[in-house]
Structure 1
Amino acid sequence: MLIASFFIIITACDPQKTIPSENVKPKQNELHPKENVNQSSLQLDEMMKSAQNGMVKDCSFTVMDSTIKQVKAEWGEPDHVDQAGMGSYATFSKKNIVFGYNKAGEIFDVRSYANDLKEITYEMVVKSLGQPTQVRDNNNDQIYVYEAANGIQLKIIIPKNKQFIDHISVFNTKRAEVPNSKYDYILDVKGYSNQLTASAWEKMLNWRKQIVLFAKGQENVYINGPNRQQVALTFDDGPDGVITPAIIDILTKYHVKGNFFFIGSKVLDHPDVVKKAFNNGDLVLNHSYHHVELTKLGKEDIRTEIDKAGKTIKSVIGKEPAIIRTPYGDTDAQVASVSKQEGYSIVLWSIDTLDWSQKDSTNIVKNVVDNIRNGDIILMHSDSDKSETKKALPLLIEELQKRNFEIVDLETMLNVKAYK
C-alpha cells in the first residue's frame, strides 16, 4: 500500500519529544549495501529545494498559499479524509500525495509517498543534508526534521523496522496553527474624519458598535478576517471610467489583488473596466443594483436588488458573485437571511478610511497605518471623485508591505466562495 493508514497519518503531524539525533541513527549494518550515493544526493538536493518553495516533487500545490479547494478543483475529490492532529488529511492515492489542511481550508502539510523515496536510507540523507535539526520518536517511526525555510520544515519519516524512507512531509508551522473562528476574533471598526459633525460621528460610532454585535451572531456576515498577518483592500461604488481603472493599474504594479464591490446599475456603463478588474485577478463583487438602504426594503425587493446586480455582473464576466457588501453597511437579520438564501456572504469592513468624507490622501493612509491589525478589511471607494484615494493607494500598499502584511483577496482571507 502506498498510502499509510490513519495511524501513519498522525505520525508526521503530532509534536513529539526531541531527542539527540546521534542516539537514533540506524545501525551501520542495517544500511543498504549498494546505495547509489550520487543519484540519492541529487534527489535529496532536489527534495530540499522543493521544500524551500513549500512543495514536494511532482506536486504544484504548496504549503505557502494553496488550499484544499484548489486541489479538489484540479484533482477531484480525495479517496478519503481523516481527522488527525492539527487538522484534516486528504489522501489522493493515485498521486501518492496526502494534504493536511486547517479549518480555513489552507494546506499546511504536503506528504509524498513516491516510490523512489523507498530507495533512500538515513545515511544517504545525512550525507546530503547534514544532521537534522530535530529527531522525533513517534511509536513505530523516526521523524527527521530539517528547517527548509522560515517556518517551513522538511520531515523525513523512516519506520524503525526498515532501512528506507516511507514518506516525506513539507510542513508550514505557521499555517498549522488553527485559525480563530470568526466568532472568536471580531475587530472593532476603526477610522476617523474631521469633516463629520458631532451628531454624524456619534451616529457612526453607534452603528459600528451595533454592527459588530450583530456580526457575532450571523454565520454569513463578516467584519474582518482571521487573526493572521493578512489584510484585504476593498473598493466600493465603482465602476467608473477613470479612478477604477487607475486603481486596477496600481494593484497590478504592486502585484496585489483588490476586491471591487460594483454597483449593478453602473456595470453596463463601463463593461471594459469590469472585465479589466476580473482579468487582472481582482474580485468583482456585488454592491446591490441601485445602492439603496436594503433594511428599508421588503424581502422581495431586497432579493431583486441582490439578484439583479449579480446577474448584471455575470453578463459581463461570465460569473455571478457570491459576496455582497450592503450599501452603507446597512444590514439586519432580514437582509442577512435573504443574502444567505441567494448564496451570498456579506462582507463589511473593520477599517473605514473615510475617503468619502475627508477626501485627503494623508488621512486615508493615516486611518490605516494607525489602526492596522491582523485580518483587517479596509474600506475605500473607486468612483469618480476619489482621486485622493488613487493618490493614497501606492503609499498605503508600500507601508503595509513594509510591515509584512500579506495583501489578499477576500476569498483567500475568509475561505468563502467569491463566485457561485
Structure 2
Amino acid sequence: MDHFLYRDGVLHAEDVPLTRIAADVGTPFYCYSTATLTRHFRLFQDALAGLDHLVCFAIKSLSNQAILQTLAELGAGMDVVSGGEYRRALAAGVPGDRIVFSGVGKTRAEMEYALTHGIRQFNVESAEELRVLSSVASAMGAVAPITLRVNPDVDAKTHEKIATGRKEDKFGVPITQARAIYAEAATLSGIEIVGVDVHIGSQLTDLAPFEAAFSKIADLTRELRADGHTIRRLDLGGGLGIPYTRSNETPPLPLEYGAMIRRVLGDLDVEIEIEPGRLIAGNAGILVASVIYLKEGEGRNFLILDAAMNDLIRPAMYGAHHDIVPVQEAAAGLELHPVDIVGPVCESGDTFAKARNMPPLAPDDLVVFRSAGAYGAVMSSEYNTRPLIPEVLVKDDQYAVIRPRPSFDEIINRDTLPAWMTPKP
C-alpha cells in the first residue's frame, strides 16, 4: 500500500495534487510520502514485536537527510556502508549505538571515525578486515564490537547484480571458514565478538532462500557458542522485495517474514537486527516527469520524457520494471497504445520501457514512475550535465523541497582550472 492515489481524476501524494508540486518545482522530481514511510517502518516493528530487536534502515536505498530524520524519530537504527553514510546517520540524530557499519571495503579512516563517534557494531567481511580493525581499535585504546558477515552459499533467486549470498559473490566469509575466523577474532586485542551477520541479496520475493540461510546461521550460532563465543545478536540483513508490477507480484509480507524468523531462530535467545531499505522506501517514492515529444518511428512510437537514465538508472542497469501512469487519470475504457518510453540522454540504454501500453498523451502531460523511492535518487548522476533533480517530501497537505535542483552555474563552477589556464570571461 502507498499514499499516491487518484482524487477527482488527479494523482495525489497524500493530500497534495502532484500537479501543484510540478507547477512549483518543475519536472522531473522525486516525491516521497511521509505516511507511507511511517507505515512501512511500523510493519517491520509489528512483525518483530515481542522479540528483542532493532530495525536498521539501509541508508544506501535512500539517503536524504529529511527521510533519515523521519525514520530516526520513529526509532529506526541505520545500516551504513560508507563513512559518508555514517556521517549522514549522525547528522540525522541517530546515536552511534544504533548504527551498524557494513561493507566490504572499510578504510582505517572510516574505522577510526566510527570508533571515535560511537558504533553499534562493525559487520566484518573478511579476516583481513578483522585484523586491520583490531590494529586500529588497539591503537586508539578502544574496543570494536563485531559480527562476522557469513556467506551461506544460498542463491537468493534474484537479479544477478543484487545477489550477495553465493560463494562466488564478494560479500562475507565462506561459512566453512567462519569458526576459524571467530577463533582468531577471540585472540585479537581491540575486538569484541557480539554476533553473526548474514545478507543474501535484494528484492527477494520468496521466503525460502531466507529460511535456508537463517537455518545455516542458527546451526553456526550453536557451534560458535559450543566453541565458547558469546553470540548475543544476529544481524539478518535486508532484502525483502516489493511489488514493482502491481498486476502479478505478491512478495511476502513483513508479518510472514517475522513469523519465519521466530520459527527458525526463536529458540536461540538472541537480539534480532534487520536492515530493510527497499520495502520501507520503494513504494514511498515516485518520480514525476513531463512529456517532451511524441515521436513516430518506423514500426514503433516513442514517448520522450524530460526524465532520463541519469535520474532513474534501474531500468538501464537491471532491466527493472516500473509502472508508469499519467497524473491525469485516464478515462475508463480508453484505448491504450504501445510506446517506447525513453529519456533525452544520448544513449540507446536511456529506455525506461518498450512497447508499454499507455493512454494517449501530449507534450507537457505529466507521468509518474511508481515504486521509485529506493535506489532512485541515490543512484542518480549529472551525466550529460543534467542537474540532479529535486526531492520533495509530503506530509498530509504540506510539501517541502528537501533537495533543490542545482543551477547550471553551480554545476559548472564546481570545476576549477589549473594555474596555467586563464578563466574565460
Report the TM-score range of the alignment, normalised by the length of the smaller protein. under 0.3
TM-score (norm 2): 0.25
Higher Rg = 1
Q: Which has the higher contact order (CA 8 A, sep 6+)?
A: 2
TM-score (norm 1): 0.25
Structure showing the higher strand proportion among its residues: 2
